[in-house]
Amino acid sequence: MRCPYCKNNDSRVIDSRSAEEGATIRRRRECTACGRRFTTYEVVEKQPLMVVKQDGRREVFKREKILNGIIRACDKRDISLESITNLTNEIERDIRNTMEQEVSTSDIGKLVMNRLKDFDEVAYIRFASVYRKFADISSFMEELRELQAHKTSGNGHE
C-alpha cells in the first residue's frame, strides 16, 4: 500500500478491525520508509446489479425502492422498522446471490410477494394489489383464496 505522505510502496499492517457491521475492514498501517501511520479501508467490490423494467429499460438496482414498497405495504401495521429492514436485506441478499447481473422487475416483485406472504398477510395483500394491478374484485378475491390456501397448507405461520 502506498504511503500517502512519502509515496513509498511498502507499509506494514499494525492492526485490522471489522467496520460497518463487517462490510468493511479497517487497517492501521505504518510506512516502512518514513514510519508515519495511516488508515486504509477494504471494501468488497460489488458488481452493479441492473434491473430490467417492463418496457425494456435498464436502471441500477436500488434497495430503497424495495424498502419503500414494503414500508407502504406495512403502513399502520404493528411492524418495526427493524423487521422491515431485515426483510429488505434478506430480499436483496437473495437477489444478489443469484449471481445474475440483471434481474427483471417481475422477478423482484415475485420475490417480495413470496417473502411478504409469510411476513404479514395484510402487507402481502396490499403489495399484491399494487404489483398485480387487480382489475376488479374477482381478481382480488382470487388472491385472497390463494393466500388462505397457502396458510392452511402449513406453509404460513399461525
If 0-12 CB within 10 Å is exposed, 13-18 middle and 19+ buried, where does residue 115 land? buried
* Set of cell numbers at residue 88: 429488505
What pLDDT is recorded for position 22? Answer: 72
- Which positions ≥6 away from 57 have C-beta within 8 Å? none
What pLDDT is recorded for position 157? Answer: 47
What pLDDT is recorded for position 104? Answer: 95
CB neighbour burial string for 51-86, b if at least 16 within 10 angstroms, e if fewer? bbeeeeeeeebeeeebbebbbebbeeeebeeeebee
What pLDDT is recorded for position 124? Answer: 87
For the chain of 158 residues, list the mean pLDDT of each consecutive stretch of 10.
93 88 86 95 81 94 94 94 93 87 93 92 86 72 80 61
pTM of the full structure: 0.61
What whole-number distance in Å separates Cα of residue 11 and Cα of residue 1?
Answer: 6
- Which positions ≥6 away from 53 have C-beta within 8 Å? 59, 105
If 0-12 CB within 10 Å is exposed, 13-18 middle and 19+ buried, where does residue 121 land? middle
What pLDDT is recorded for position 86? Answer: 93
- Identity of the amino acid at 67: L
What pLDDT is recorded for position 158? Answer: 43
